[in-house]
């Protein structure tokens, strides 16, 4: 009996063992549990449903659980469905018996599923801010992968989940109209740790790749670090500037092509705000076009058209805590002429520091205000050490230009946003200019006073500007208030004439000359003095005396062969209007085109011939005139000499219109008239036919390049002409 019982027990054990082995290794397929699983899914989330086929059940005898798996199921959420490769879960047999939550874990393998659908399901479990923002920025994309969840006894997901797989063809719409297209990568996501590998994408049409990106969940933000590689790309600069929130400044970049290797890290909030951005990048800049609208580079580089081209630059960029450091070197092209440049640029918030070394070898260079030019293929260098701050001031500690034995040094220069000089500590000039004159002077500032000293200086440019504008204002300074003490051994007035031992002072207030006193002498011993005074009526009084006026007069190209004479100039200026008197005594001229034409039209060929010979001598020339902006009004111009006298008035509008009228009388007729004043009536009518014709009246009118001249004979001289002639004869 006992034996039979033992056999039965052994048989039962064997049968049970075989069943357990079968269930453990082969399991069974059934749809009996479909409703239970659906019910459990609904318990987890009432918004979803499952479409299940036969379920394969395997027994795990060691932990007394059943493993349920099904192939090709579907997750249904409203009208959306996600096709899965399989779903696998372990259910506690004890929990099933006790009708408790029975799922221990859940493994899901996705086929290619839409990211939008997956986010929708994720939001049905937990509608967080992160999922909401992801739903907004993800426009399309697909995911394949596996998810593993573990549950506690209350049915809550334990934090030791694992998600891994791949995404492809993802398009993200970011802030400021920036886009990520064709994003693909492998991913592995665990509790608070995310890892992306083999990342590829196009950011605003820039091709990007990364071998690895790590993301850590820091509760209130995500910490992201990794490496980004770029191949050669043509960049959309407008979108790049928006992304960097104008960190590239106001530079007008037109085209850029580069490749790079960058390490980066940053924190991003749950609202997708980036903080603590750090970038270390090695950039291979193939090409960059920069359009400059702020500085007229053509005045310095005659080959410059509109754009600068930078080519083959190696650049190291470090961005950390809102501080940018950029170190690079490469080629700079100005109208295809290639030179070398190296630079260090640092940015802290809105403050910039520039250290630039430019070798100007192939390009020509002009510095017009110094009358200096360098031809192409002559070696030279320019070093600039400047800073630009948030209140739009540019401070240059050093600007040094060197070419052969020529050098120009500027120290501690401060400019405003319109590139006007606010302050300067020192200028040292040592160069030969375009007319082969050596310039060797130093400007130094001591407190509020400037000292200008040196051996020689060519003042031609300055004099030409003052004589053309006649305003006495400084064009390079901004609201300057200072005193200049001047002592220069030799100052050139043109390429030949010079004065010795120029000394004196200049006071400027609000960028205008308030007081000036300069004295010097020519090599022939003749003196020249210039004074400017501001009186109690706020009138600016200017005087100029020159015992040798030829270097000043010959600047006017329409007068040639001027010689001898004494020049005296007096002017009063107030409220932008100046009234002046110019006197030149005892001089002669050899060529004045307008005068020659007048003499020819008046049939005074004999006097006209004098112009091409030794010249016509004048005892006195006087001109009373006024200036207001670009309009010069000549109240009276009177010149008298042994051969001819002229009385004239009118106006000249700069580069636009000339309108003059007057009388021209041979000196012989004047002498006869003056000698016969007691019998003036008879002389005016003439005793013989033709004797009453004393001279001609004339008119000159038109644009400076197209003047029309008319001449009419006159029989009588105007009282004003006679009065002025008598005054001059009496004075002489």
pLDDT along the chain (732 residues), means of 10: 71 72 72 70 69 77 77 75 79 71 74 78 66 76 84 71 86 72 87 87 82 86 89 63 50 76 87 84 88 70 83 93 91 90 90 92 89 91 90 89 94 87 92 93 91 92 65 64 92 87 90 88 90 88 89 70 83 88 84 68 59 74 87 87 83 82 70 45 37 68 82 67 62 58
CA distances from 217 to 128, 161, 367, 400, 726 (A): 15, 14, 59, 53, 104
Could you tell me how many residues make up the chain? 732
For the question of whether the overall pTM of this predicted structure is more than 0.95, the answer is no
Q: Which residue has the tokens 């290619």?
A: 112
- Residue 176, helix vs strand vs coil: helix
DSSP state of 476: S
How high is the pLDDT of residue 155?
A: 65
Report the distance separating Cα 164 and Cα 71, nearest Å: 19
DSSP state of 475: S
How high is the pLDDT of residue 456?
A: 94
Name residue 534's beta-bridge partners.
540
- Residue 161, helix vs strand vs coil: coil
CA distances from 315 to 193, 251, 260, 376, 387 (A): 33, 18, 9, 28, 20
How high is the pLDDT of residue 273?
A: 80
Closest CA to 647 of 694, 702, 706: 694
Long-range contacts of 26-32 (CB under 8 A, 24+ apart): 26/58, 27/56, 27/57, 27/58, 27/59, 27/67, 28/56, 28/57, 29/54, 29/55, 29/56, 29/57, 30/54, 30/55, 30/57, 31/55
Report the distance separating Cα 722 and Cα 584, nearest Å: 20
CA distances from 392 to 324, 420, 476 (A): 18, 12, 17
Beta-sheet strands, E only, within 629-671: 631-640, 644-653, 657-666
Cβ 458 vs Cβ 436: under 8 Å = no
CA distances from 185 to 118, 198, 199, 263, 556 (A): 17, 5, 4, 18, 77
């Amino acid at each position: 009996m006992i034996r039979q019982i033992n056999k039965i027990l052994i048989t039962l054990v064997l049968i049970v063992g075989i069943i357990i082995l079968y269930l453990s290794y082969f399991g069974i397929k059934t749809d009996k549990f479909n409703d239970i699983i659906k019910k459990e899914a609904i318990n987890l989330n009432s918004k979803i449903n499952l479409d299940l086929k036969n379920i394969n059940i395997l027994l795990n005898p060691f932990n007394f659980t059943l493993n349920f798996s099904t192939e090709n199921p579907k997750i249904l959420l409203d009208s959306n469905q996600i096709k899965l490769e399989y779903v696998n879960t372990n259910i506690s047999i004890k929990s099933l018996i006790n009708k408790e939550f029975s799922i221990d874990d859940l493994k899901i393998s996705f086929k290619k599923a839409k990211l939008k659908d997956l986010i929708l399901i994720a939001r049905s479990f937990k509608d967080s801010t992160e999922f909401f923002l992801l739903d907004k920025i993800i426009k399309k994309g697909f995911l394949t992968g596996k998810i593993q969840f573990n549950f506690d006894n209350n049915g809550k997901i334990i934090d030791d989940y694992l998600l891994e797989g791949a995404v492809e063809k993802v398009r993200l719409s970011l802030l400021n109209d920036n886009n990520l297209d064709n994003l693909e990568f492998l991913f592995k996501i665990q509790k608070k740790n995310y890892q992306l590998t083999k990342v590829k994408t196009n950011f605003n049409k820039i091709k990007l790749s990364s071998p690895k990106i790590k993301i850590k969940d820091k509760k209130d933000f995500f910490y992201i670090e990794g490496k980004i590689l770029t191949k050669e790309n043509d960049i959309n600069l407008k979108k790049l500037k928006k992304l960097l929130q104008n960190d590239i400044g106001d530079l007008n970049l037109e085209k850029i092509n580069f490749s790079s290797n960058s390490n980066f890290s940053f924190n991003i909030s749950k609202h997708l705000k980036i903080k603590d951005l750090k970038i270390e990048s090695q950039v291979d800049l193939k090409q960059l076009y920069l359009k400059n609208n702020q500085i007229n580079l053509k005045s310095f580089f005659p080959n410059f058209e509109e754009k600068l081209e930078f080519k083959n630059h190696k650049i190291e960029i470090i961005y950390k805590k809102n501080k940018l450091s950029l170190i690079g070197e490469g080629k700079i092209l100005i109208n295809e002429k290639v030179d070398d440049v190296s630079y260090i640029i640092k940015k802290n918030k809105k403050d910039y520091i520039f250290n630039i070394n430019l070798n100007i070898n192939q390009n020509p260079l002009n510095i017009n205000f110094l009358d200096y030019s360098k031809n192409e293929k002559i070696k030279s260098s320019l070093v600039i050490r400047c800073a630009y701050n948030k209140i739009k001031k540019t401070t240059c500690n050093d600007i040094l230009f060197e070419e052969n034995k020529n050098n120009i040094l500027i120290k501690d220069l401060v400019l405003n946003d319109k590139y006007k000089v606010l302050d300067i500590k020192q200028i040292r000039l040592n160069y030969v200019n375009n007319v082969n004159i050596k310039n060797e002077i130093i400007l130094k500032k001591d407190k509020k006073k400037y000292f200008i000293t040196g051996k020689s200086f060519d003042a031609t440019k300055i004099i030409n500007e003052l004589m053309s504008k006649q305003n006495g204002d400084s064009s390079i300074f901004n609201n300057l208030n200072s005193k200049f003490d001047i002592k220069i051994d030799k100052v050139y007035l043109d390429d030949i004439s010079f004065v010795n031992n120029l000394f004196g002072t200049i006071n400027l207030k609000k960028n205008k000359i308030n007081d000036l006193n300069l004295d010097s002498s020519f090599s022939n011993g003749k003196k020249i003095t210039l004074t400017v005074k501001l009186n109690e009526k706020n009138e600016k009084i200017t005087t100029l005396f020159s015992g040798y006026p030829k270097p000043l007069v010959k600047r006017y190209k329409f007068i040639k062969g001027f010689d001898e004479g004494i020049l005296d100039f007096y002017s009063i200026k107030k409220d932008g209007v100046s009234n002046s008197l110019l006197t030149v005594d005892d001089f002669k001229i050899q060529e004045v085109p307008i005068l020659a034409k007048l003499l020819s039209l008046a049939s005074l060929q004999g006097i006209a011939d004098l112009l091409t010979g030794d010249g016509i001598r004048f005892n006195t020339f006087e001109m009373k005139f006024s200036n207001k902006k670009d309009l010069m009004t000549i109240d009276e111009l009177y010149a008298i000499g042994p051969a001819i006298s002229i009385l004239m008035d009118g106006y000249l509008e700069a580069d636009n219109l000339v309108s003059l009228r007057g009388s021209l009388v041979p000196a012989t007729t004047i002498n006869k008239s003056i000698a016969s004043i007691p019998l003036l009536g008879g002389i005016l009518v003439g005793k013989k036919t033709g004797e009453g014709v004393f001279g001609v009246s004339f008119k000159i009118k038109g644009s400076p390049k197209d003047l029309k001249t008319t001449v009419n004979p006159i029989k009588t001289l105007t009282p004003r002409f006679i009065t002025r002639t008598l005054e001059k004869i009496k004075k002489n």
